[in-house]
């Protein structure tokens, strides 16, 4: 899909045809739309291909008056089978030309979707540098939002820590830890790209954009710190879950052992008294009542000793 936007009278409006100062948003492009980008708009073919590569890392590149900025964006997807969320990153390509700004991605980006829907204020597509910095600011805000969601999920799982008996909790924590690894790696790569932009080599920075540029760098650094802290918390929780599960399993095995020992005592006694032997060989073998009494006494003594030694 290709959509064309431009700020007119302070509002972001969608246009049918591109003109100078526009923002062209492209996601999930078809082959015809890719040809439109390269032939009609004259975008570098390698730049467009890089924007649509899921394995592309964050970087900046210049070629024939065009500047390519690739940054990773945070994405959340709900899994229907497990009813949990999967967090990962998807690269977003920003191509800056002489009079247009392009954003190209394999999937619809929630951050750009919010901007296109007018949910982000003070969007000025005519000021290309400021507009690109606003995109980067919203991308960092997206990372922070999903990091907070991960923290909430881990907190709710922590409340169930004491009763953990299954591997499901460990699997969920492993998924969150994996997501945090993706986030941390992507954020650090994005931060390197932001630092290159701050030097003024990739984009022409204007004095009025310096504060916004500083804010973007601060936001990404804070996001990196949050991801690092949350990753450490998740790792500690995984260790704690492992210990709790092992402890609970030991408790179950102890209970089963006690039950097995207690049940085995009547079997042993009745086995002795069931042997075909002469009367008087075993004590109190004149009547079956005595064997039952002996069984009850020994079972009670063993049960009392075991249960007193460790709580049931």
Per-domain boundaries in the chain: 2-248, 249-309
Residue-level pLDDT at 312: 46
Q: Phi, psi at residue 19, to the nearest 5°?
A: -145, 165
Distance CA 41, CA 87 (A): 34
Task: Compute the residue count for the chain.
Answer: 312
**Angle (nearest 5°) at CA 22 between 16 and 23:** 95
Distance CA 198, CA 136 (A): 12
Residue-level pLDDT at 287: 64
Name the strands in the sheet holding 100-105, side by side, starting at the edge strand that comes first in the sequence: 11-15, 2-8, 22-27, 100-105, 84-96, 66-79, 59-63
Closest by CA position to 108, among listed 57, 149, 60, 73: 73
The widest CA-to-CA distance across the chain, in whole angstroms, is 114
CATH 3.30.460.20 fits 2-248, yes or no: yes
Please list the pLDDT of the chain residue by residue as tens digits (312 residues): 899 999 988 888 999 899 999 999 999 999 999 999 999 999 999 999 999 998 898 999 998 889 999 999 999 887 766 667 789 999 999 999 989 999 999 888 888 888 888 888 888 899 999 999 999 999 999 999 999 999 888 887 777 665 555 566 677 788 888 899 999 999 999 999 999 888 877 788 888 888 899 999 999 999 999 999 998 888 888 787 777 777 777 878 888 888 888 888 887 777 776 665 555 566 666 666 767 777 788 888 877 777 776 554
Distance CA 64, CA 208 (A): 27
Q: How much is the pTM?
A: 0.78
């Amino acid at each position: 899909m290709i959509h064309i936007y431009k700020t007119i009278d302070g509002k972001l409006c969608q246009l049918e045809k591109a003109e100078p100062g526009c923002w062209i948003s492209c996601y999930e492009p078809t082959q015809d739309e890719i040809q439109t980008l390269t032939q009609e708009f004259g975008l570098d073919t390698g730049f467009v291909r890089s924007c649509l590569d899921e394995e592309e890392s964050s970087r900046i590149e210049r070629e024939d008056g065009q500047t390519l900025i690739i940054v990773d964006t945070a994405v959340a997807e709900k899994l229907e089978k497990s009813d949990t969320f999967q967090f990962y990153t998807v690269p977003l390509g920003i191509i800056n030309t002489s009079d247009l700004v392009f954003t190209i991605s394999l999937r619809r980006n929630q951050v750009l979707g919010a901007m296109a829907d007018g949910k982000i204020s003070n969007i000025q597509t005519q000021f290309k540098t400021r507009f690109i910095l606003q995109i980067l600011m919203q991308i960092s805000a997206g990372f922070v939002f999903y990091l907070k969601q991960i923290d909430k999920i881990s907190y709710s799982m922590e409340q169930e820590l004491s009763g953990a008996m299954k591997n499901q909790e460990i699997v969920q924590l492993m998924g969150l830890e994996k997501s945090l690894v993706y986030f941390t790696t992507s954020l650090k790569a994005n931060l390197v790209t932001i630092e290159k932009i701050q030097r003024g080599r990739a984009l022409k920075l204007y004095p009025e954009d310096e504060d916004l540029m500083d804010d973007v760098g601060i936001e990404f650094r804070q996001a990196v710190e949050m991801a690092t802290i949350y990753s450490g918390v998740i790792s500690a929780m995984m260790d704690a879950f492992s210990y709790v599960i092992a402890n609970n399993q030991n408790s179950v095995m102890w209970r089963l052992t006690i039950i097995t020992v207690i049940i085995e005592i009547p079997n042993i006694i009745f086995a002795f008294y069931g042997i075909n032997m002469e009367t008087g060989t075993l004590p109190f073998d004149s009547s079956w009542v005595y064997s039952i009494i002996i069984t009850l006494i020994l079972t009670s003594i063993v049960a009392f000793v075991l249960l007193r030694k460790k709580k049931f």
